[in-house]
Structure 1
Amino acid sequence: MRETADTRHDKADGPSPRGRPPGATRKGLETRVRIIKGAREALEEGGMEALTTRRIAASAGVKLATLHYYFDSKESLLLAVLEDLIDDMDNAYRQDVSLPKAPEDRVEALIRTSWRYIQRTRNKQIAQTELTLYALRTKGSEWLAARQYNAYIDFYGHLVFEDDSDEELRQIGRAVGRQMLIGIDGIILQSYALQDLSASNEDIEALIIAMRGYLRRLMGERAKTR
């Protein structure tokens, strides 16, 4: 493989053991972050059509050879973008609200926090939808859509309970997270298409009522079996 400026920097940072992955050094990690940021910007500003290697490399300030060194396929880069989007969502949620202890109240707080985040990240939401559609339409990339949705379900599910170390509670959290995601996805598309904030706010209130009731039912069924 031809040596690039970034790989030379990686070597300068210290010895690289055999098999060490690209981006394992400080300089390498910084370069990897720039590439992911460049891909996110391209995706959010222009959709999948804009997600070309040349545009990403230009946005990241790296050469094409460097881009290919760090990410050997479009799917591997999209997976890194997906993980970055979820990290961004996680940080935003945690800064936005301190979740209550009661599970039903936590579900309500999560939905309200999600809705506030959605309203201020329109391009990001559309980019995530386009990422799903790309994965479903591209033969051999279907796994990326499954990874994407499992990550979202895990994200919501893990936050339903203050402590989800109990396997049964973890499964209940995932079930609630899955239903929350169904509702939130629908509200996102409808709100952007109809541009009716009042109706979307009503839909969020309806989703909260439904999710509180669903969680209450699941917890009641759990209590009966104990």
Structure 2
Amino acid sequence: MGRMPSAERRRQLVEAAIRAMTRDGVARTTTRSICAEAGVSLSVFHYCFESKQALLEAAIETITGNYVARVMSAVEPGATLRETVRGALQTYWDHVTAHPGEHMLTYDLTQYALREPGFEHLARAQYEQYVVAAAALVEQVRAPRGLRPSVSVETIARYLAAVIDGLTVQFLVLGDDKAAAAQLDLTAEQLVFLIEG
């Protein structure tokens, strides 16, 4: 490959890491296998990232950022609060059902980070990113309507992150589309209640 800006190389390596880890699992994915997936030399990896840990952090940020961008773009300004919340949940859920391997990867990343000495902070950062993303969504649907929830946006965001996390892993294990749809409807109702205060 020709010369490429380092930011583009980093993106290329992160995307290759996500593909490789989705396919092979986090523990079995090495920096060499990531470089092979990206079609670059190991020296390129070391130029872009100081460690596998730094690459994993970038992968978590990328995955979460992609989810957030997808969900935020689905928010319809003229829709009712319930339609907006349910639509945002459905947009996320459509990705879960279309790309279950990527969602399994997020759990694999969490488990790997919790078990690997020195990586624990990555699991905490991953879940804090989920809360930040959920809070941004709540603000995006709350603020234009001038709603003042009876509990803090952070509390709603932590609740939303926990519920979505549980629903996702339950679906990955059970694969029950009908139950998932009913649970998403219930989650939307609960969120509307909390956001409206």
Above 0.5 in TM-score? yes
Query: What does the per-residue CA deviation read over 1:30-73, in whole Å, with 9 as the maximum and x for residues that have no partner?
Result: 21111111111111112113321111000111111221221111
Paired residues for 1:1-226 under 5 Å = 9=3, 27-99=5-77, 105-162=83-140, 172-216=152-196, 219=197
What SS does the corresponding residue of 2:76 show, helix, strand or coil?
coil
CA contact (8 A) 2:16 2:37 kept: yes
Q: For residue 151 of structure 1, report the CA deviation from its aligned partner.
A: 0.8
Distance in 2 separating the partners of 1:154 and 1:173: 10
Question: In the alignment, which residue of structure 2 is the partner of 1:18?
Answer: none
CA distance in 2, matches of 1:125, 1:57: 22
The Cα of 1:99 is off from its aligned counterpart by 4.8
* Counterparts of 1:43 and 1:57, CA distance in 2: 12
CA distance in 2, matches of 1:141, 1:58: 24
Can you list the C-alpha shifts for 1:14-41, whole angstroms capped at 9, x where unaligned? Answer: xxxxxxxxxxxx6222211111111111
Distance 2:17 2:83 in 1: 36
Equivalence for 1:14: none
How far apart in 2 are the matches of 1:53 and 1:105?
A: 44
Amino acid at match of 1:47: G
TM-score by length of 2: 0.85
Greater length-normalized contact order (CA 8 Å, ≥ 6 residues apart): 2
User: 2-side partners of 1:106 and 1:137: how far apart?
Assistant: 38
Residue segments in structure 1 that go unaligned for 5+ positions in a row: 10-25, 220-226
How far the C-alpha of 1:101 sits from its partner, in A, is 6.8
Alpha carbons of 1:201 and 1:103: their partners in 2 closer, same or farther (altered >3 Å)?
closer
- Taking only the aligned residue pairs, the percentage that are identical comes to 26
Aligned AA for 1:86?
A: T
Rg: which structure is higher? 1
Amino acid at match of 2:188: I
TM-score, scaled to structure 1: 0.75
Deviations 1:79-99 (A, max 9, x none): 111111122213322444425
Task: Indicate the RMSD between aligned Cα atoms, in angstroms.
Answer: 2.6
Change (3 A) 1:123 1:143: same
Runs of 4+ in 1 over 4 A off after TM superposition: 99-105
Structure 2 portions without partners, runs of 5+: none
- Distance in 2, Cα, partners of 1:176 & 1:110: 15
Secondary structure of the equivalent of 1:48?
coil
